Amino acid sequence: MSHPSAILIPVPTAQRQRPLPPQGEALLDRLRGDSAERAPVDPGLAGGLRDWLEDGLSEPASALSGAAPLRVSKDDLSQVLDCEAHFLSQRDAAPSLTPALARGSLVDAVFRQWITVGELADPFADALDALSVVGDPDGVGAFVAALAPVARRALADEVRAHGACIASAWPGLSASWMPRTQERLVVALAGGRVVLSGVVDLALGAPSSGRASVCVVEVKSGRRRVEHRGDLHLYALLEALRAGAPPFRVATFYTATGELDVEPVGRDALVGALHRVMAGVVRLCRLAGGAGPSRTPGPRCAWCPELADCDPGRSRMAEQGHGGARSASGAKGWA
């Protein structure tokens, strides 16, 4: 019998739990979907997208001088659209590695080995070996070797944990899926004066003239960021321009949690990516022609080496209560 003075507090409805990350066949089913529901390939779509870009970039690209083309990556687009002054400061600055960026490169190598070989001995050692074989332009191996022992062990433990997540989530891929790691997408525009490029972590399926049949997967070792979706839409556009047909699906696999974000590719995503490319390349052409950069305050201000000479950036930092630029060692955050 309850005490007469007891107060009964209603128990709130339990919050809906997030579903467990997909593994094995469940992961493949999410990537593959129902083939009968894939959209038929529009034979005029890719050509129309290319014509649209060619028309929009013809005049800006005509101002480019020199024999070398303007090469445009996803990072170029992201930075120049955020702030032209920050883009120029990063372009001219010596590249710097952080443990998080090194981890991203190492985890990419682990994923590539798991997909192509199907086994991992020591993910950390395997990744370093792979980089030494295929090339290490960012100097990740030397960066890791120079770390203090405690920091190196911490990084090794992280990479091993990410490798365990990859191995538990991804089953072997059938050769009929045509899995391709580090798939390079290159599209030349404006008579070769502008070259769009990207590297996809994993591409599955072959282009088809019937129903769309390619799936593009990006691998991220850090947390979710809104930029990831824009990067995937860019890759979908590049695949459409290169192959004549867009992928039917794009996905991001997060190696820290095993989560898989999957999105179908429709016309709206491709057109949105096209507008973003157009806006970014127009700015890049103008800067390449010697025009002064515009300054747009935003989240990158805290890490910008130009902050001391940037009135909009300093005003934004003052409004947010920051006295000055933060240490450049954390400039690029999670990979």
List, for residues 59-99, the tens digit of each pLDDT value: 999 988 777 899 999 999 999 999 988 899 888 776 688 99
Q: pLDDT at position 94, please?
A: 64
Whether 309 contacts 321, CB under 8 Å: no
Would the pLDDT of 28 be above 70?
yes
Mean pLDDT of 115-141: 92
Q: CA angle, 159 as apex, 154 and 161 as ends, to 5°? A: 95
Q: Secondary structure of the chain: what % helix, strand, coil (to 5)?
A: 50, 15, 35
The larger pLDDT score, comparing residue 192 to residue 67, is at: 192
pTM reported for the whole predicted model: 0.85
Does the pLDDT of residue 24 top 90, yes or no? Answer: yes
| Count of positions (residues) in the chain | 335
**Residue 157 identity:** D
Q: Is 7 a residue whose pLDDT tops 90?
A: no
Tokens at residue 204, please?
Answer: 């599955």
pLDDT at 89: 86
pLDDT of res. 17: 62
Question: In whole angstroms, what is the distance from residue 282 CA to residue 284 CA?
Answer: 5
Return the minimum-mean-pLDDT range out of 77-81, 259-263, 329-333: 329-333
29 Cβ contact partners less than 8 Å away, ≥ 6 residues apart: 22
Q: Taking residues 242-259, what's their average pLDDT?
A: 95
- Domains of the chain, start order: 99-169 (no CATH), 178-287 (3.90.320.10), 299-324 (no CATH)
> Between residues 2 and 160, which one has the greater pLDDT?
160
Where is pLDDT greater, at 47 or 90?
47
d(C-alpha 316, C-alpha 34), whole Å: 48
| Pick from 9-13, 66-70, 95-99, 219-223: least confident | 9-13
Measure the CA–CA gap between 87 and 79, rounded to whole angstroms: 5
What own/partner pairs with CB < 8 Å and gap ≥ 24 does 15-21 have?
21/169, 21/257, 21/258, 21/259, 21/260
Q: With 50 as the cut, is the pLDDT of residue 324 above it?
A: no
171-192 average pLDDT score? 94
pLDDT, mean of residues 15-19:
59
Quick check: 237 pLDDT over 70?
yes
